Structure 1
């Protein structure tokens, strides 16, 4: 037991176990969405050309140290026991190679320590989305482009990256579907800047053998600097007992690894049987040509729920890079051309030399998960465990792998967790939700009732949990991200709040969506960290979480009408502040909460050899008048502590135990 009162955790099969032998369910939150951008004015709601990238500071993300008590107290009151704490490679090494931001490292370490004081387990997430801020996301430091021979100032204007700061009309504000469409940053994964950088990061030795930086291959150079930034964080928090491990890397993508040079994925085919996703259908060749200033016409895929059997269809093309801007510095050719994939001729024509260039290395057909993610997981695990041998690796694959992928690589290290992400794809992309109509973009199936939506959530999350069986014969599942936009359905809830409505009514859709997600998590008895808590969140449609108009924060200052009320500023609390079994004296079998009636049911197989009793979170939000607890089996009893929002279930004998918690009826 640590001095903070937290019991150290370890892995046993699919469970986290504490020092007392209890099986622990981690229910946490990502902290926080604005950690992707510098403090205080680095959000995408501010215009920027990124010229000050070396001077950027992330001290103050997710909040200044002086505010930590307020935010940690609120998250504890909402029942969370775990934080996926965000940092970025850029935050640590933005000034230049191995020029680490020591003041930021000290700040981050203090944040981890304080989290332990408030009872939170922490695992560190080196976050990225679509490579970097300069390519429309976050993550890697800008100076890496210089090392590769790319002028970052040309990425957006050439069409090689889709960047809010380049496209958005800040004087106009609000949503701008004509200039910067909702959630369009996701499509950067297919654009050339991401294709180039991710391919070099994971497979530079295979596909760019001639590109060296400071005497080493580009892949080795990039990886060693990423691991070096990770080590700088690790060294400062190695002795904190509440820090349980590191995420491998948020939502890694394969770049062009495994793709045909000329293939455009417009729908299921013999080349690629997977369904296509909305957005530009780039081939790697399209991307390479555009990167050299060649104008290309690219197919655009769109949602069409009436189209059968595939609701994603090709309806138009888009002209990319009409100004013929090259992103390569003077005299620089791309490393794949140098390696013999293709040739750009002096007259602007081109030759495809190896259509399978990104698909084969010698006689070997490449497999991204086995050939590249497996060795990457091994390197990250080795890196962090040189600092603390007990740390858990929270392993993430490509975000689509949970829906489409076969499983984790054979080389996944011991003491690893399946930390994949899951979202309701259509809700996430469209910012629309109705319990009476929900489209599954991967199958075309339409749900017309909340029960059907929940069943789909259970199937999808169950498939992800099933992937954990491929991690060393069985490992815990922790859904590292899931959640909803709070500006759903045209941000009607914000308008109602601004007009004075403080009831739950404007948030009904949000509450139902979250309730269905947590119901599925309960059914499957899996761990999770919801995306996200942003201390600086604003109800302004240009701002949200401060990054690309995402707005998934469960808290907003704009809704904090009473700073003395710990719940003030919370959004749709009834959807996610709910009872769950934090630690079980035995093996959990079933867990279910009915939000409408307030009835919580938990069944477990008791193991009296576990040194401490079962603990259940009992939130006042769900039980404002108190509750009644029934325990049957094992000669069990329950002690309720509503001040600490928990019930302790003490059981004397082995066997099945059933716990039911009900709201106390209202009495006049």
Structure 2
């Protein structure tokens, strides 16, 4: 984008911001609050971007041949500058995001991006790039940001993303041998990367490399007391470097752009989707019962350990059915003596590691601890990870979350609090697990937020929207059913309700265990677009994608959750999706654009006034019990008042009455380049949705019917935060559903005022405080009239057929 003047850049802030960003507070109900007005803020956001998982230089994707893209050879010297996109492209992408109604960004970065060259060596160029991008986000305005140190199965060298290669060498592992020894399954090693098994990458959580790394990271001192490097146990060594890298990024922002903390930068997440590793495993000779995802080759831990030492193993092979994983045979893996463990100290010298002499390279660390015999393959202690080696007490997922994870969280919290006392710190415990029991403890403060993730498992794994059957995944995990058969949900309507109820339950668990005051954010959820073998890319029928996306958003609305949707990827294409392990979640794709080369340039157009507005805007008013009217080119005056929902009289409004509101209305300009930015947004009817941006009180329930084009909102008008001045509840009303002059607004109390400037459409709703529950409904009149006409025509045909006409 060519931006000629600073004034032209500020058009974005002046014309298209749904919200004025400022440092937020919270209330006692776990809501984010805008201090200047006391209104509750809904974080309605998007993850940017999945392409940030892998470096830009050398350019890498998960499917590229590792020998041709510097995957191993250039691992120390990668650059994540321009991830997620070059600075000059930021205005285009950020504006598109705002046009979709999003007001929050979960900013994806990896540990590798910061500290890839070696322990304590930070990439200051990347840090500066992040700061410059955050400044642009702040300049664009209307967008909150929180930082997410992202990982998937530990590292891209384990088939995911996250940690730099030197962390694996610090653990005594040789990542170049992971594929041949079955320690990880990499997309790039597949004979035909386009046929990589759906979601098989996530089985790496239960393969050796990822298991060893997370066991060391969270429980090294418990299970591997002799794993000492640079004078520290591997647990402290890895945790300290990770936390220090995040702290370096945050402190650099604080030093170079401190004003961002008062405007757009609101928080930092702890660690994306942490795993317990081997902690709590009951029997190393068996596949764990809680290992629900079994795809392709599925070794037991002892088989993985034997493979890691080069021993041939025959392991079970699985595929997935509608009723869960099913064993379909076996497969023999022969590493031919190749090991997952480094055989010499070459990398220790390269990275400057000072490894304790008791930690012998070339042999499995667990064998050195006597857990098994790496020469004979015999397993000595199958229950080694099922209990605390010191006390003998049994351990499980709950003890991991409430002890091991909390130890890390406290270290993370203390470090980052030294940089900024008021930034939100976002706790993310293992996915779909019950959060830690820390209500009213030192682990929680007034700036603690809880993150949860949710994906519909069946849609994710089968990449198809099943309108007839689904399962209550959370209910199964919580032991709600005596048999998984009872967790089956039939019918699309019930499936939608089931997803909504699961989200409500997850939110309730967070509030119960962490405290009502801690806000809950669904930081990841989404639906794949490459459903049914990419059928939609050929015939253009996105009805399944739209239905699935609508279902998850319906559930979010009905749960009153803050969220950041997964995801936005500027590089998405139909062939490779998000260019990472065949995932295809991006709400935007260039391959879905009509105009592939969009010239996104600000200039002096007929719609740009000297005051810096891209187009003039129209406003219209409705009161309780009346229909909205849209009259361009007229002056409209209205004396503020509130309709008593129990009568037809107008009652005085304490803040608005007797003050005349005069609104100038004029014809808005035709769609320009900004409007065309919505090209490439996939299933826009399901993605671009109305929602309450700022609320006087708190949202009880909300619902969007994308077929009928109606939106309903229920608010508890009781305010927990005193209002400095009367400000309205603000609702985003996207033109996609509610074109100007073609919708009705109904409220049971108060006054509404609609604004439209050619791009953004908002509704302001004024009502008295503490009047109980208040309701609003918006209805697209053009669609309803069409439906009415169709109904009359059908009735006419029926009567004609019956011979009554």
- TM-score with structure 2 setting the length: 0.75
1:665 has 2:693 as partner? no
In 1: Cα distance, 2:318 partner to 2:438 partner: 31
The 1:381–1:266 alpha-carbon spacing in structure 2 relative to 1, beyond 3 Å, is closer
In 2: Cα distance, 1:492 partner to 1:152 partner: 37
Q: Among residues 740, 749, 766, which one is paired with 1:650 in the alignment?
A: 766
1:620 equivalent in structure 2:
735
Q: Among residues 40, 46, 51, which one is paired with 1:29 in the alignment?
A: 46
- Aligned with 1:244: secondary structure? strand
In 1: Cα distance, 2:388 partner to 2:327 partner: 29
Deviation at 1:318, TM superposition (A): 2.8
1:493 equivalent in structure 2:
536
2:218 equivalent in structure 1:
202
Give a deviation string over 1:85-143, Cα, whole Å, max 9, x none.
Answer: 00000000111111111010000112222222331111100000001111101100001
- Aligned with 1:303: secondary structure? strand
Deviation at 1:296, TM superposition (A): 2.2
Instruction: Count residues in correspondence.
Output: 635
1:459 has 2:576 as partner? no
2:338 equivalent in structure 1:
325
Residues 222 and 388 in structure 2, CA contact (< 8 A), matched pair in contact too: no
1:396 equivalent in structure 2:
428
In 1: Cα distance, 2:537 partner to 2:451 partner: 32
Q: Among residues 236, 247, 255, which one is paired with 2:252 in the alignment?
A: 236
1:270 equivalent in structure 2:
none
- Aligned with 1:546: secondary structure? coil
1:44 has 2:55 as partner? no
The 1:168–1:550 alpha-carbon spacing in structure 2 relative to 1, beyond 3 Å, is farther
- TM-score with structure 1 setting the length: 0.90
Residues 35 and 62 in structure 1, CA contact (< 8 A), matched pair in contact too: yes
Deviation at 1:642, TM superposition (A): 5.1
In 2: Cα distance, 1:26 partner to 1:520 partner: 15
- Aligned with 2:146: secondary structure? strand
Deviation at 1:428, TM superposition (A): 0.8
2:684 equivalent in structure 1:
573
In 2: Cα distance, 1:276 partner to 1:607 partner: 44
- Aligned with 2:694: secondary structure? strand
**Cα RMSD (Å):** 2.3
Moved more, 66-75 or 212-221: 212-221
- Aligned with 1:419: secondary structure? strand
Deviation at 1:406, TM superposition (A): 6.3
Residues 79 and 617 in structure 1, CA contact (< 8 A), matched pair in contact too: yes
In 1: Cα distance, 2:470 partner to 2:715 partner: 34
Q: Structure 1 unaligned segments of length 5 or more: list them.
A: 268-273, 498-505
The 5-angstrom pairing of residues 417-428 of structure 1 reads 417-428=449-460
In 1: Cα distance, 2:465 partner to 2:208 partner: 32
Q: Structure 2 unaligned segments of length 5 or more: list them.
A: 1-12, 344-360, 477-483, 599-672, 787-805
Residues 246 and 391 in structure 1, CA contact (< 8 A), matched pair in contact too: yes
In 2: Cα distance, 1:616 partner to 1:357 partner: 52
Q: Among residues 373, 378, 383, which one is paired with 1:355 in the alignment?
A: 383
Higher radius of gyration, 1 or 2: 2
Deviation at 1:586, TM superposition (A): 1.0
Q: Among residues 444, 449, 459, which one is paired with 1:413 in the alignment?
A: 444
The 1:626–1:282 alpha-carbon spacing in structure 2 relative to 1, beyond 3 Å, is farther
Moved more, 143-152 or 327-336: 327-336
1:641 has 2:683 as partner? no
1:336 has 2:359 as partner? no
In 1: Cα distance, 2:495 partner to 2:779 partner: 26
In 1: Cα distance, 2:88 partner to 2:579 partner: 21
In 1: Cα distance, 2:407 partner to 2:549 partner: 36
1:62 has 2:77 as partner? no
- Aligned with 1:420: secondary structure? strand
In 2: Cα distance, 1:93 partner to 1:278 partner: 33
Residues 265 and 276 in structure 1, CA contact (< 8 A), matched pair in contact too: no
Q: Among residues 73, 79, 99, which one is paired with 2:101 in the alignment?
A: 79
The 5-angstrom pairing of residues 526-565 of structure 1 reads 526-540=561-575, 543-562=576-595, 563=598, 564=673, 565=676
The 1:470–1:334 alpha-carbon spacing in structure 2 relative to 1, beyond 3 Å, is farther
In 1: Cα distance, 2:111 partner to 2:456 partner: 28
The 1:100–1:275 alpha-carbon spacing in structure 2 relative to 1, beyond 3 Å, is closer
In 2: Cα distance, 1:243 partner to 1:113 partner: 10
Moved more, 652-661 or 123-132: 652-661
In 2: Cα distance, 1:545 partner to 1:156 partner: 23
Residues 264 and 281 in structure 1, CA contact (< 8 A), matched pair in contact too: no
Structure 1: which 4+ aligned runs deviate by more than 6 Å?
none
The 1:596–1:365 alpha-carbon spacing in structure 2 relative to 1, beyond 3 Å, is same
- Aligned with 1:362: secondary structure? coil
In 2: Cα distance, 1:652 partner to 1:355 partner: 63
Deviation at 1:665, TM superposition (A): 2.3
The 5-angstrom pairing of residues 48-447 of structure 1 reads 48-49=66-67, 50=71, 51-118=73-140, 119-169=142-192, 175-176=194-195, 180-238=196-254, 239=258, 240=260, 241-265=263-287, 267=289, 274=290, 276-279=292-295, 280-305=297-322, 311-330=324-343, 331-345=361-375, 348-353=376-381, 355-363=383-391, 364-366=393-395, 367-401=399-433, 405=434, 407-408=436-437, 412-414=443-445, 415-439=447-471, 442=476, 443-444=484-485, 445-447=487-489
2:694 equivalent in structure 1:
583
Deviation at 1:629, TM superposition (A): 4.7
In 2: Cα distance, 1:596 partner to 1:59 partner: 42
In 1: Cα distance, 2:292 partner to 2:197 partner: 19
The 1:82–1:388 alpha-carbon spacing in structure 2 relative to 1, beyond 3 Å, is same
Deviation at 1:196, TM superposition (A): 0.7
The 1:470–1:439 alpha-carbon spacing in structure 2 relative to 1, beyond 3 Å, is closer
Residues 459 and 466 in structure 2, CA contact (< 8 A), matched pair in contact too: no
1:503 equivalent in structure 2:
none
In 1: Cα distance, 2:201 partner to 2:320 partner: 17
1:516 has 2:551 as partner? yes
Residues 402 and 436 in structure 2, CA contact (< 8 A), matched pair in contact too: no
Deviation at 1:451, TM superposition (A): 0.4
